Structure 1
Amino acid sequence: MNAQQDHRDADVLIVGAGASGGVAALELATRGFRVVCLEQGDWALPDDFPGGKPQWELARLKQWNPSPNMREAASDYPIDVTESPIEPLMFNGVGGSTILFSGHWVRALPSDFRVRTLDGVADDWPFTYEDLRPFYDEVTHHIGASGLEGDPAYPDAHTFPLPPLPIGKYGLAGAKGMDKLGWHWWPAPNAIASRKFKNRPACMRYGACESGCPTGAKASTDFTHWREAIAAGAVLVTGARVRRLTVDNRGAVTGAEYLDRDGTLRHQAAGVTVLAANGIGTPRLLLNSTSAHFPDGLANSSGLVGKRLMIHPYASVYGTYEDELETWLGPTGQALQSMQFYETDTDRGFVRGAKWNLMPTGGPLTHTLWEPGQDWREAFGPAFHSRLRSTFGRYTEWGITTEDLPEEHNEVVLDPAATDSDGIPVPKIRYTIGENTERMLKFHVDRATEAHLAAGATAVHPIPVVRDSGWHLLGTARMGTDPATSVVDEYGRAHDVPNLFIIDGSVFVTSTGVNPTATIMAVALRAMRHLADNRHDQTTSR
């Protein structure tokens, strides 16, 4: 089938309108580039989200579920997860997964960029924390993050444009427990406005952040970047499902083929193409973009496209308290965070560490849910009422984001048999939790249990691995200096294809032990500023 050529002529084509795509569009459009972005989803308005409506908890289980396999919207593609203990989570639409994320706004620590040097595993990043620091600063102040300066876990007292959100009664209880143990905690930074900021109101504390912010207080990139980018001239095409990237007879990328909402195959041409489709969508497109020049997938001479998937296995340790702690009150962003056990201590039996976040536990329906392997009958009938009386408003979570080491057997491949609704091969995830991470999870679950008991919890309920927690999709097109062992350079430029850039979480060398959105956006800004500053050096010759 021949593709219909779009009439627009683009200097830069961006695939994906999420966290990194929004950063790229705003930076490049304001620098005078003709920018076109293809996004397979659509715009969402605050009133579209269920928070603040009676049915919000039910809607989050289906229409606003973070798993595309459960949500099954027209803009979604299925993911084969039969070989993974963790469900990948994402959202397709303007703003990408920032629409549904909790808003944790956490920087990686300096050690995260030097893992090989410090711990003898994985690899060092091709730049340092200090190299990325100004871009962290810029993005933090652009989006209106809320936080408190001076966290001793960091070497620099980086600032925030807004004061921290209130830690609430459950945050105060958690902090007292950590103080008893002499462990680090800090009022948590969030990409949620604590006061009015630019075009966004202050948080109303609905506690429904993970099903879309009903007021616009959360810093999703549809608010923070896309409106400004479009005003600067960027063109955003929604309902555009990219099938593959196209190349010329020299192997340079010429643009992308995509299917519009009517099923018409179109082609968007561009001088430079930027992939911002997340750690699963990006390798899917590269592997599907085979040609005579790239029989194993675009930009894949290293064989690493899709390899070294990192997901951050996540544990939840819940504590039940006698006192009413208002744990239904938002934001669902974190109240506290702790880096007490973040850095390597080899006496623990593993390397690297994890970040903790103290979270509320939502509305009544939350207390009927169960993890695979649990007896669902414990949550219904008479048990529901007794459980609700003991936990609603009195149940809080220490969540544990564990660093995931890069291992080549953890991968994204194309499913040989399944396709999406447009006939495009779907991704299949092959993922297992590594031995180092297993030991790390056990250690942190035990410590979080101690933290709850020190805070006065009457009961503790650990979930060692939460299946529906795969928000952080990283490492499948890693950056590096050697084309034999990496896919892109430190600025996201593909070693094999000089006019192709990748700027999402797939370029991560290591996963770090923190929520990655701040790092994804800082890395994207650094890469796109370098592209703009060197615009006359974007040769298409191989």
Structure 2
Amino acid sequence: MSHPTAATRPVTVDPPVDVCIVGAGPSGAVTAKRLHEAGLRACVLERGDWPDRSNSRGGHDDFELRQDKDWQWNPNLRRSAADYPIDDADSDVAALMWNGVGGSAVVYASQWMRNAPSDFRVRSLDGVGDDWPMTYEDLVPFYEQVEADFGISGLDGDPAYPDARGYPMPPVPLGPGGRKVAEAMNGLGWHWWPGTNAIATRPYRHLSPSVQRGDCMWGSADNSKCTVDVTHWPDLVAAGVQLRTRARATRVMTDGDGAASGVEYIARDGALHAQPARAVILCANGVGTPRLLLMSASAEHPDGLANSSGLVGRRLMMHPASAVIGLFDEDLGTERGSWGQCLYSLEFYESDPSRGFIRGAKWGLQPTGGPQRVTGAYPWTMTSIWGEDFHRQLRRRLGRSMLWVSCGEDLPEESNRVELDPNATDDDGLPAARLVYRTSENSHRMLDWHNERMSEALRAAGATEIIIAPQIRESGWHLLGTAVMGTDARRSVVDPWGQAHDVRGLHIFDGSIWPTSSGMNPTATIAALALRCADHLAARMTKGARDE
């Protein structure tokens, strides 16, 4: 049956376009850019609005007092007009996202990591998950292109990446704390490399160099963060790409032949619209994309659109994370700095069965922030600062602490899932999302083991006290796997180019299609994969095919 809004409200039919894209985050922007370059008419529907950078307080005294109010990561706490509820009572990890132009990258930590070559061959190497239907080498030219388009800062030559070269900007400074940890890693004989980040270190197109305020996750007042609301959308809108903000997609429409024919959406004035298109591309993240597919159920697709495999919403991966803090006796200046990663380590990234778990984790070294941040719960959960010892403890933490955060591979399990909430709706009456997610035993062992190694590295750097936050609930930045790609329609939702097996003209280009999660921050690969898929689709559509 069709979505109830279609039966109860009049629908305004918009002029047809070649492609309708749902979501204006990194994958949506990359896709729109490539299709526009191919001469195709694109319309992009974004349920949120442009970020209001005037609310960024990085250069003001009240920055830390207001950062979690104006730039809250958790939509259940933020509750903006663009958000929909997410029931995470049955999830070990809370989903974090930003609904608006720029997507969740507006509030991410800007850490930019390519997947490693082994990440595409997990089944072959370790007998778990699935191999990707492509290789690292297949994605290299697309990595290089998006790194130039976004304006990534980093240092070429990391031996962990055989073909990583040509970062358009030098890396962010290591700082005194980063140098101490780097020297310790050298002494241990462990891999480290200056951080790659979506943070500008010199003027680059629309970007300004970072002034090291540490506000990258809270509005980025200095215009240095390489998010697509800065790097892509101003030019695309000026070139004629249609970007409709506060446009809430309600369902993907299909025609009499069962092919995707457009998207129904609620406009900012509350009116119901239908946007006809030759092709529909979903770029709404690993929660929003399966939610829309499930909301698009019909008599022909009673379990949701493109769901003959039963895998829409299944295999949710969110990278459960842990953190380790080292406290030092000297001032390291870590109340400021780029809130990305000044360096990273892949020393323990590849599998080693002797550790008691499969796969591995990447580490990123970060500052710890100002007075409000170092007295907050994250990542200081296990130690109380309040009481008569407050001032001494504050002096001990402020500017004298460094933070390792691990990003460990999260293996796909069908029981971890996104589904429609039977009891809750958003303010348009559309079903909310519900998460069911349990951290695997493999992930628990991985987190514990890496916490010990990160502690060892900080002690070697001279830390006199170690604080471990074993697993962080507010860490679901990476929403992956819920519309998996593959070559077998019985075991996947889309093919290797993001085309739905079941529905001609329906495509998914976001992190939903990942077969495995890697242990890397995913935005680099989300963008590169979207560009690869968009390049393939553009070639087919410009030959006159309708779907494709």
Short-chain TM bin: over 0.9
Mapped to 2, the partners of 1:3 and 1:287 lie a distance apart of 22
Structure 2 match to 1:490: 496
Alignment of 1:221-260 (within 5 A): 221-260=228-267
Mapped to 2, the partners of 1:371 and 1:216 lie a distance apart of 26
Secondary structure of the equivalent of 2:232? helix
Offset at residue 47 of structure 1 (A):
2.7
Offset at residue 537 of structure 1 (A):
6.2
Which is further off, 247-256 or 108-117? 247-256
Offset at residue 186 of structure 1 (A):
0.5
Q: 2:43 aligns with which of 22, 36, 40?
A: 36
Structure 1 match to 2:154: 147
Which is further off, 218-227 or 402-411? 218-227
Secondary structure of the equivalent of 1:497? coil
Structure 2 match to 1:523: 529
Let me know the Cα RMSD of the aligned residues: 1.5
Offset at residue 265 of structure 1 (A):
1.6
Offset at residue 271 of structure 1 (A):
1.2
Return the letter of the residue paired with 2:15: R
Structure 2 match to 1:61: 68
Offset at residue 329 of structure 1 (A):
1.5
Answer yes or no: is 1:532 the counterpart of 2:524: no
- Indicate how the Cα distance of structure 1 residues 372 and 197 shifts in structure 2: closer, same or farther if over 3 A, else same: closer
Q: 2:443 aligns with which of 437, 448, 454?
A: 437
Mapped to 1, the partners of 2:538 and 2:480 lie a distance apart of 25
Please say if residues 509 and 530 of structure 2, whose CA atoms lie closer than 8 Å, have aligned partners that are also in contact: yes
Task: Provide, for residues 214-242 of structure 1, a one-character-per-residue CA deviation record: whole Å limited to 9, x for no partner.
Answer: 12111100111112222222100001111
Task: Provide, for residues 104-137 of structure 1, a one-character-per-residue CA deviation record: whole Å limited to 9, x for no partner.
Answer: 1110000000000111110100000000010001
Offset at residue 46 of structure 1 (A):
3.2
Q: 2:480 aligns with which of 468, 474, 478?
A: 474
Structure 1 match to 2:30: 23
Return the letter of the residue paired with 1:85: D
Alignment of 1:27-426 (within 5 A): 27-370=34-377, 374=381, 378-426=384-432
Return the letter of the residue paired with 1:276: C
Please say if residues 244 and 286 of structure 1, whose CA atoms lie closer than 8 Å, have aligned partners that are also in contact: yes
Task: Provide, for residues 166-192 of structure 1, a one-character-per-residue CA deviation record: whole Å limited to 9, x for no partner.
Answer: 111110111122112111000011111
Which is further off, 489-498 or 379-388? 379-388
Offset at residue 156 of structure 1 (A):
2.3
Offset at residue 436 of structure 1 (A):
1.0
Offset at residue 498 of structure 1 (A):
1.8
Q: Point out where structure 2 has 5 or more consecutive residues left out of the alignment.
A: 1-7
Please say if residues 382 and 467 of structure 2, whose CA atoms lie closer than 8 Å, have aligned partners that are also in contact: no
Structure 1 match to 2:4: none
Return the letter of the residue paired with 2:154: G
Please say if residues 30 and 229 of structure 1, whose CA atoms lie closer than 8 Å, have aligned partners that are also in contact: no
Mapped to 1, the partners of 2:409 and 2:509 lie a distance apart of 21
Secondary structure of the equivalent of 1:457? coil
Task: Provide, for residues 123-166 of structure 1, a one-character-per-residue CA deviation record: whole Å limited to 9, x for no partner.
Answer: 10000000001000111111111111111212224221111111
TM-score (norm 1): 0.97
Secondary structure of the equivalent of 1:436? helix
Offset at residue 353 of structure 1 (A):
0.3
Please say if residues 379 and 469 of structure 2, whose CA atoms lie closer than 8 Å, have aligned partners that are also in contact: no
Mapped to 2, the partners of 1:285 and 1:267 lie a distance apart of 15
Return the letter of the residue paired with 1:78: P
Q: 1:502 aligns with which of 490, 494, 508?
A: 508
- Indicate how the Cα distance of structure 1 residues 358 and 11 shifts in structure 2: closer, same or farther if over 3 A, else same: same
Task: Provide, for residues 485-512 of structure 1, a one-character-per-residue CA deviation record: whole Å limited to 9, x for no partner.
Answer: 0001111110111201101110001000
Secondary structure of the equivalent of 1:468? coil
Offset at residue 260 of structure 1 (A):
1.9
Please say if residues 14 and 276 of structure 2, whose CA atoms lie closer than 8 Å, have aligned partners that are also in contact: no
Offset at residue 371 of structure 1 (A):
5.4
- Indicate how the Cα distance of structure 1 residues 186 and 373 shifts in structure 2: closer, same or farther if over 3 A, else same: closer
Mapped to 1, the partners of 2:388 and 2:10 lie a distance apart of 60
Give percent identity, aligned residues only.
51
Q: 1:464 aligns with which of 465, 470, 477?
A: 470
Structure 1 match to 2:5: none
Please say if residues 381 and 469 of structure 2, whose CA atoms lie closer than 8 Å, have aligned partners that are also in contact: no
Mapped to 1, the partners of 2:486 and 2:468 lie a distance apart of 38
Mapped to 2, the partners of 1:159 and 1:375 lie a distance apart of 42
Offset at residue 464 of structure 1 (A):
1.0
Offset at residue 435 of structure 1 (A):
1.1
Which is further off, 526-535 or 252-261? 252-261
Return the letter of the residue paired with 1:211: W
Mapped to 2, the partners of 1:374 and 1:21 lie a distance apart of 36
Please say if residues 258 and 504 of structure 2, whose CA atoms lie closer than 8 Å, have aligned partners that are also in contact: no
Please say if residues 498 and 538 of structure 1, whose CA atoms lie closer than 8 Å, have aligned partners that are also in contact: no
Return the letter of the residue paired with 1:412: V
Structure 1 match to 2:434: 428
- Indicate how the Cα distance of structure 1 residues 20 and 320 shifts in structure 2: closer, same or farther if over 3 A, else same: same
Offset at residue 540 of structure 1 (A):
5.1
- Indicate how the Cα distance of structure 1 residues 296 and 130 shifts in structure 2: closer, same or farther if over 3 A, else same: same
Mapped to 2, the partners of 1:41 and 1:329 lie a distance apart of 30
Please say if residues 46 and 215 of structure 1, whose CA atoms lie closer than 8 Å, have aligned partners that are also in contact: no
TM-score (norm 2): 0.96
Secondary structure of the equivalent of 2:403? strand
Mapped to 1, the partners of 2:440 and 2:504 lie a distance apart of 34
Secondary structure of the equivalent of 1:534? helix
